Structures are given as C-alpha cells and as structure tokens.
A and B are shown apart, each in its own frame.
Chain A
Amino acid sequence: MRLSRRDALAALAALGGGARGAGALLEARTSAERERVATMTAVAEVVYPDAVDGVDEFVETYAVGRGRSSDHGEARRAALAALDDRAEREHARAFAALPPARRRVVLRSMGVDRAHPNPDGTLSERVRHYVVDDLLYALFTTPVGGRLVGIENPPGYPGGREAYQRGEPE
C-alpha cells in the first residue's frame, strides 16, 4: 500500500485544523522543519508496517501540516528534539541518520515502548503521544492504513456511505 501527499492531506482535513492546508503543497520550508520531518519519518519507518510505502512524502505533508495547524506544535517539536538528543548522545548521530534497528534501540532506551502516552507526562510519555501515536493515528484513520486490514473507510475518515454496504474493499 502506497501512502501519498494526498493521503496526508486527507488525514489533515479530517483533523479539522489541517483543513486550512488541504489542497496546498505542504513542504518543509526551513532547515529546522526539514530536520523534524526527517526525524518523524525515521520514527514512522520503525512503527509503520512494512507494507506501507511512500512514508516520507506522507509524513512530510502530514507532519508539516499538523505542526502548523495544531496547538501542540511546540510540544511536538520538543519531543522530536529529545529523540535527536538521545540519538546524538548514545550513537553520535541524528536519529534520522541511524539504521532502523538503532532507532528502535533509542526508542527503547528512552522507554517509549513502555510509556503510556500522555501529552503532559514524562519525556517518554510525550514522545509516545506526540510522535509515535500521532503517526499511528494518521495512518489508521486514512484509507491506506485501513486497507491493510480491509477497512477502506476507517473511523476518523469521511469516506462516504458506500464502503459499509460492500462485501469487500473495492
């Protein structure tokens, strides 16, 4: 299943605030923004199933749109910076520059895999909420994520009234 900018725009539109960016090409414009997108994409490559292609395009559009429209942009930026800090400290490279296996190690060493997501919690809880869960939410509320399990109009996505009447995905 291939994710696209269009899927990301659809996810943003469903989230309401991102609707302002829907239809526009949402690209990282500053180097700091590009770094954050790279970190977010690197996390997505760890937490998304292998069958998902086109992660970078999807994440760029989604992450940039979400960052610009959400009230929580600053908290998300801080969570991503913390991931990079930990990667630099433990592996002397930015998170996005690590191979996927090392990225998993960083996430585990921060306790993100055991953390209960909490926007106001500890660092690991905030990374879980603002980065890992945000990426999973975007994927599984859009048709590409839903189609992985045969649910082409998953809850959270306004895909109309036809899918529920069909015996199988189109």
Chain B
Amino acid sequence: VTPGADADPDADVCVVGSGPAGAILAASLATRGHDVVVLEAGPRFDFEDRPERMERALRPTSERADVWEMGGDRDAYSTSGAVDYRLNDARVKGVGGTSLHWGAMTPRFHPEDFEMQSRHGVAEDWPISYADLEPYYVRAEREMGVAGEASRFGGPRSAPYPLPAHPFSHADELFAEAFEAVGAELHHCPRAINSEPNDGRSQCVGFGTCTPVCPSGAKYTADVHVREAEAAGARVIAEAPVQRLEHDGAGDRVVAAVYAKGGTERRLRARTFVLAAGGVESPRLLLNSASDRYPDGLANSSGLVGRRFVDHPGITVAGRLDEPTRQHLIGFGTSITEQFYDHDSGPEGSVIIGPDNNAGQAPATTALSTRPVAGRLADGDLLAPFEGDRWGEAVLERVRAESTGQVRLSAWAEPLPDPDNRVALDRSTTDDHGNPVPDVSFAVGDHARGTLERVEPILHRILDALGADAVETVVGPDDPWFGHHHVGTTRMGTDPGSSVVRPDLRTHDLANLYVSSSGVFVTAGAANPTLTIAALTLRLADRLHDRLS
C-alpha cells in the first residue's frame, strides 16, 4: 500500500494488456489526447517473422503454444478441475495479445443473451441490453474490419458490415442443401479478415493458416490498434508483466502498477487503471494484489473475482464424400448458422453450427508426420516393425487420405455460469517472478452438455443428408473441445455483493480501477466473445474520455 493518492502521475491511464481490449481502448483514448501507457507482459513480435511462425504451425513437430512462444515459467499454470485445460494453447502473450492467434470470427451476441433470466429463467440478466451495445457493435465492426452480410438471425443492425462477406466455399455450397434438409439455413460467417484492402492492410491472400498466424496481416490483430495508439502518443512497454496493483491508504483508489522490467521492479502511477489482460490474468492480478486492506484480493469484496469461469465447449462430427470437398484452400470457415442460437428453439440451449473448410490435416502437416509403429500396426500395416516411414508414392497416398474428401461440421454451445468453475491462485507454484500461478478449475455443466447432446444428432442428420460416408462423432459432448474464450471471472452487475464491476466497468471497490475483458460478461452466449469485448471497450473509452476530460 502506498500512501497518498494520484498526485503527479506518470500517465492519465495505465492499461494492462495489449490485446483487443487494451489496444482499442488505448487507441481510442490516445487519439483523443489522453496520455496512455500500456503495459504488456509479452514481447513485441516482428511482423516479418510471421512466415516462420506459419512454418511452425504447419510442421507437426511444433505444438500450438510454440507458434507464439507460450510456455515456460512465465506462463506456468495449474488445472485442477474436471477439465484438463491447456491454458497456453488458449492465449498469447505479446503486443496484440491472443488476437495474434485467433480465428477472427465475430458474431454479435443476440438480444436474448442479455436477458437470459427474464426470457428463459436461467443464469442472470446483464445490466445493459443489446440496444445499449448496438451502436458500439457497429463501431467495433468498423475498427476491426469485419467482413459479413446480415442474416435473418440475431438482433437488429443499424448499419451494414463495413466489408463485403467472404464468398461461400465450394463445401458451403455442398452443405447448403443438407442444412435445408433439416430445416436449417446456412449464412455467411462474419470475420475480421479483410475481404478487400482495408485500413492499410491487404485483402486475404489465402495463406490458409489464419489460426494461429496470418502472415499477410489481412486478419485483424490488435497490434493494428497498438500502432494507432503509439502514433497518437501512447507508450507501449513490452515485456513488462505487472506484478501487482497498489492502492492508497484508504483503499479507495489504485495508485500504481508495479511491473517487472530489465530485472527490476518499476512503478507506474496513473489517474486511472484498466485491466485488459483477459479472463484469466486479470483476475489473477487482482488476487495477487491482496493487501492488509483487501486480504482476499483487490476488487473482491463480492468474493467473485475469478469465479464463474466459462469457456465454450464444442463437438465435431466428420465424414467422407466420394467427390472433391475442396478442403485446405482457405484458412477459415465461411458459413455458419445461428438458427439454433435461441434457447427455446431447436436443441434447448444456444448453439452455433458451422461447416469446416479445413477438414483433415493440411498437406504439409500430413507429409511431415511420422507414424509410430503401433499406429501403423493398428491400421493393418504388418510391415511396420520392419520398415520405417515410406516416402515417394506413400507420402502422396497419405496426403490424399488425410487431406482430401473429408467433411466436418462443428457446433458449440452456451455454458451457464457456475461459481464453482473458477480461476484461483495456485500458491504451491510460482511464475518466473515468484507470483502464484493461475489455477483454472472447471467442468462442463449439465446445461451445455445437454445442449451438445441434443445438437449431435442434428449434425449427423446434416451429414447423412449430404450423402457422407463413415460419419462419426470425432469430438463428442463427454470430452468436448473448447473455444478458448475466457468469460465471467470479473462479472458486471449493479449489486456490489454479486458482481465485481459496475455496468460502466468500474470495479465496485476502487474508484479508478476498471476491467475491459470478456471477464465482465454476465453470460457467455454461444457467440465468440471478441467483438463484444471490442464493443464494451469502445463504450468504456467514451466514458473514460468524458470522465478524464
């Protein structure tokens, strides 16, 4: 605790984190004349290195976390719940944050997402509505350069998408009739990937590796707004992990962010602090900032910091067609349906369904894969113990089998918040600076599991209608994949006893501490969170601008 308030601060606003939430906020405030400093735990990556990262992504010898150099003591974590969660596959630390590896899928939340208790008697309502956020959705789509086309699903739009939708793929055309056969309608998938030159960045040139890296820069990554912020005078300090926040003697205000840099601890004083470090690191920092005044962590008088953690679980059903399905020609899915994004229609629970344009492995990945003897034997290759990997024609056969003729359909569902699902501190393990690491502990609840169980037969029916063979659930409701969306750990609300931040995203407990993150979401919807993060961030920026002015 440091006595004295924010006299002679180093900045108007200190932002912790440079992903979309931090970068968009910094750009919005810096361009309006405010003095902003961004502290980013990870490094500043060279754009010119992206092709090498792409190679890492395609070579089977690299893990997903290797692409952006996640791992090691800096990023240590625990996972103690039912789900063995691979946290470092789900995030990137660096200037641009997790957007560096995201898929850039940007559906809006639906109006019902904000009113789940009122409409359906589940979870709780948000203290703001879709209508409150709609103007900011429009701005967020413009800021990120979203390519899309309005569908008949979801809430009303006051403006069209800023960029035309990416055209449907050949696979989408095949799927469209099969969706119709089950009474569903495929529509364009909104993506923050340039469908035409935009904002000084090229249109998509089809490298096909958007997740986890876009070498052309056509995919929006938050370093776009970091550059804008810096051009307007903001200072962005990379490799500066914030260790803790310090408050004044009364415990009313944060006075400094203490960060590590160059082997020493430094303090940054600011009038206002904004946590934008994601749904795991933001609550971790609050918990690691415990003091005599706040022994359970900052902004945690509700006891809810880190609780109600949510990530979207998903399932995948795959099959084969006896005709070219034209996979691996573009790096992203070009269609989805939000027809079942309605709690009481179709499968109970909100869900998005989308066909894949990348079923199976990329050709280079297959060609470079080594095959363990046991696996070859299991496939009936009796020569496996006597012969190593075969090349030449054998490589071609493997690539053909693994990379062509496949079709794949995925669905992901809304999980309801549960206080037992949480990010807490694992005090038995410390990071490279001696701070307790986050422990991500959660299970997939009955609601989401039930939704996925109800949607699984629909996916099978679609693939059957498509005429696919060998249809099977490759990832099912009992052991789903996750969207890597970290929601709910610093939730928003009007009641200080049951929420961490107010509707304006200020913490209830500290007058100059804000959170900009999917952590503030009250419910997770089924939609990918980043566009809503950006919309909330722009709304926060307007309020901070008014306040600081």
CA distance A60 to B435 in the complex (A): 52
Contact of A156 among B364, B388, B403 (CB under 8 A): B364
B530 contacts partner chain A, Cβ-Cβ < 8 Å = no
Which residues of B lie under 8 Å from residue A151 when comparing CB positions?
327-329, 363, 403-404
Across the interface, which residues of A come within 8 angstroms of B326, CB to CB? 150, 163-164, 166-168
Q: Which residues from chain A contact B215 at a C-beta distance below 8 Å?
A: 14, 16, 158
Any chain B CB within 8 A of the CB of A34? no
CB distance from A9 to the nearest CB of B (A): 14
Known contacts A166-B170, A167-B324: does B364 contact A141 (CB below 8 Å)? yes
Task: Give a binary string over A90-131; 1 marks a CB under 8 Å from any B CB, 0 the rest.
Answer: 000000000000000000100111111110000000000100
Q: Assess whether A149 is in contact with B61, with CB atoms less than 8 Å apart.
A: no
User: Which residue of chain B is the closest to A141 with respect to CB atoms?
Assistant: B364
| A81, B206: Cα distance in complex, Å | 37
B168 to chain A: which residues have CB within 8 Å? Answer: 165
Chain B residue nearest in CB terms to A159: B206
Interface pair B50/A160, CB less than 8 Å apart: no
Q: Give Cα distance in the complex from A164 to B362, angstroms.
A: 14
Which of B52, B206, B358, B365 meets A160, CB within 8 Å?
B206
Interface residues of A: mostly helix, strand, loop or mixed? loop
Cβ of A158 and Cβ of B207 under 8 Å apart?
yes
Measured CA separation A30–B388 after assembly (Å): 35
Residues on A with C-beta less than 8 A from B203 are 161
Chain B residues near A152 (CB-CB < 8 A): 329
B429 to chain A, nearest CB (A): 27
Q: Report the bound CA distance from A125 to B208 in whole Å.
A: 28
CA distance A166 to B329 in the complex (A): 10
Min CB distance, A67 to chain B, in Å? 16
Are the CB atoms of A150 and B363 closer together than 8 Å?
A: no
Contact of A158 among B205, B366, B367, B392 (CB under 8 A): B205
Q: Cβ of B389: which chain A residues have Cβ within 8 Å of it?
A: 113-114
B390 neighbours in A (Cβ, 8 Å): 113
B55 in the interface, Cβ–Cβ < 8 Å? yes
B395 is contacted by which of A15, A49, A165 (Cβ under 8 Å)?
A49
**A50–B404 CA distance with the chains assembled, in angstroms:** 20
Does B357 touch A at the CB level, under 8 Å?
yes
Q: B166, B204, B215, B396 — which one has the most chain A CB atoms within 10 A of its CB?
A: B396
Q: Would you call B395 and A156 a contact (CB within 8 A)? A: no
Report Cα–Cα, A158/B389, bound state, in Å: 30
Whole-angstrom CA separation of A155 from B332 in the bound complex: 11
**Interface range on chain A (Cβ under 8 Å from partner):** 35 or more
Indicate with 1 or 0, residue by residue over A23-52, a CB within 8 angstroms of chain B CB atoms. Answer: 000000000000000000000001111110
Q: Flag whether A153 is at the interface (Cβ < 8 A).
A: yes
A137 touching B55, Cβ below 8 Å: yes
Instruction: A38 to B541: give the CA distance in the assembly, Å.
Output: 61
- Asked whether A65 is an interface residue with its Cβ less than 8 Å from the other chain, the reply is no
How far is A113 from B50 in the complex, measured between Cα atoms in Å? 30
State the CA gap A15–B59 with chains docked (Å).
13
Note all chain B residues with C-beta closer than 8 A to A14: 51, 54, 207, 215
| Minimum CB distance partner of B396 in chain A | A49
* Known interface pairs A117-B61, A118-B61; A156-B55 also in contact (CB < 8 Å): yes
Query: A17 is contacted by which of B52, B391, B392 (Cβ under 8 Å)?
Result: B52
Question: Assuming A46-B391, A49-B393, A49-B396, is B52 touching A15 (CB within 8 A)?
Answer: yes
Which residues does chain B contribute within 8 Å of A113, judged by CB atoms? Answer: 387-391
In this complex, which of B51, B209, B216, B366 has the most chain A Cβ atoms within 10 angstroms of its Cβ? B51
Residues from chain A with Cβ under 8 Å of B387 in the complex: 113
The verdict on B400 contacting chain A, using a C-beta distance below 8 Å, is yes
Interface status of B368 (Cβ within 8 A of chain A): yes
Chain A residue with Cβ nearest B216 = A158
B208 in complex: contacting residue of A114, A145, A156, CB < 8 Å: A156
Q: Which residues of A contact B242 (CB under 8 A)?
A: none
User: Are B51's CB and A164's CB within 8 A?
Assistant: no
B167, CB-defined interface residue at 8 Å:
yes
CA gap between A167 and B396 in the complex, in Å: 21
In the complex the two chains form, what is the Cα distance from A149 to B329 in whole Å? 12
Task: Give A141 to B50 CA distance when docked, in angstroms.
Answer: 15
Q: Which of A50, A132, A163 has the most CB of B within 10 A?
A: A163
Closest chain-B Cβ to A144's Cβ sits at a distance in Å of 12
Q: In the complex, what residues of B have CB within 8 A of residue A163's CB?
A: 206, 326, 329-330
Are A16 and B49 in contact, CB atoms less than 8 angstroms apart?
A: yes
Interface string of B212-231 (1 = CB under 8 A from A): 00011000000000000000
Task: Report yes or no: B362 in contact with A156, Cβ–Cβ below 8 A.
Answer: yes
Max chain B C-beta neighbours (<10 A), residue from A116, A159, A161: A161
| A140 CA / B365 CA spacing, docked (Å) | 9
Cβ distance B217 to chain A, nearest Cβ, rounded Å? 12
- 10 extra interface residue pairs, beta carbon distance < 8 Å, beyond A47-B391, A117-B61, A153-B206: A47-B395, A108-B388, A151-B329, A155-B363, A156-B208, A156-B364, A161-B330, A163-B329, A163-B330, A165-B169
Closest 4 CB pairs of A and B: A113-B388, A16-B51, A155-B208, A164-B329
25 cross-chain CB contacts under 8 A = A46-B392, A49-B392, A51-B396, A113-B387, A116-B370, A136-B364, A137-B368, A139-B367, A140-B364, A145-B367, A151-B363, A153-B329, A153-B330, A154-B363, A155-B328, A155-B331, A156-B55, A157-B206, A158-B215, A160-B206, A161-B330, A163-B206, A163-B326, A164-B169, A164-B170
